[in-house]
Amino acid sequence: MELLRTHDTCLNCDKKLAGRRDKKFCDAQCKAEYHNKNKSFGELYISSSQSITRHNRRILKTLCPEGKATVRKEVLDNMGYDYRYFSGLYKTSANLYYLAYDYAFAPIFERGVEKALIVQRQDYMDRLTLEIWKGKRS
C-alpha cells in the first residue's frame, strides 16, 4: 500500500512539496510563519511581552558588566528601554527594583538627576516575600 501525500503544497506559501510524504511546509521559515500567523491574540501578546522584556534585559546587561552600575535615565531611554515591561519586583528598605530576568534597576535621584541603579540578580533576592495584600483588608 502506497502512502498518499496529505498536502501537495506548502500550507504557508503554496510551493510544491518534495520529500517526506507527511511534509506540510517547504522549510522551517514557512512553518514558523504559518504558526505565527495562526497564534491567538493572547499568545501574540505573551510573545511580544517576552521579547520586550528580553530587550530590556540586554540593555541592563550591557550597562552593568560588573554586577552594579549607575546610569542616567536618558541612557536607558536612548537605548529603547520600555519601562512598562519587567519580569518581577524586588523591594529593599530604600528602593523598588524592576527585574528583567536576572538584571534589575531601581529609579533613583542624585542631585536632582534621574538615574537608574542597575544590579545583577543575587541569590538573596529569591527569598523576598512581598506582602501585596498587607493593609488591604477592611
Q: Let me know how long the chain is.
A: 138
| Cα-Cα-Cα-Cα dihedral sign, residues 48, 49, 55, 58 | negative
pLDDT in tens, the chain (138 residues): 455 556 789 999 999 998 888 889 999 999 988 888 887 778 878 889 999 999 999 999 999 999 999 999 999 999 999 999 999 999 989 999 999 999 999 999 999 999 999 999 988 888 777 777 777 766
Give ∠ CA 117-122-125 in degrees, rounded to 5: 90
Q: What is the pLDDT of residue 6?
A: 66
| Cα-Cα-Cα-Cα dihedral sign, residues 34, 39, 41, 43 | negative
Parse the chain into domains and list their residue ranges.
41-127
Q: How far apart are CA 40 and CA 98, in angstroms?
A: 28
CB-based contacts of 14-20 (< 8 A; 24+ apart in sequence): none
